[in-house]
Amino acid sequence: MKVKVVIERGENGYFAAHCPALKSCWSQGKTREEALDNIREAIALYLEPESTELVETAEREVVELAL
């Protein structure tokens, strides 16, 4: 999977990175490389399914929709 990442240098000297396709997926680093490593990890965590939310209970039904 390929995603676009925007990297900007902040006023504090750190590099901020975010993925516009994934709402609220941001990270930062002291260097450009560190920011890229950190956003790579943030994207992986963002896309990782949360198994606790997929558990069906009497009050919650999990369905799969085709778009």
Give the pLDDT confidence score for residue 41 in this predicted structure.
Answer: 95
Q: Say whether pLDDT at 11 is over 70.
A: yes
DSSP 39: H
Q: Which residues of 15-53 are buried (b: 16+ CB within 10 A; e: fewer)?
A: bbbbbeeeeebebbbeeeeebbebbeebbeeeeeeeeee
What is the helix (H) or strand (E) element at residue 61, kind and residue range? none
User: Could you read off the pLDDT of 32-62 as tens digits, one per residue?
Assistant: 999 999 999 999 999 887 655 566 677 777 7
Give the pLDDT confidence score for residue 66 in this predicted structure.
Answer: 79
Give the pLDDT confidence score for residue 60 in this predicted structure.
Answer: 74
Domains of the chain: 6-54 (3.30.160.250)
How many angstroms separate the CA atoms of 16 and 6, rounded?
A: 8
3-class state of residue 13 by DSSP: coil
Residue with tokens 């943030």: 42
> pTM (2 decimals)?
0.70
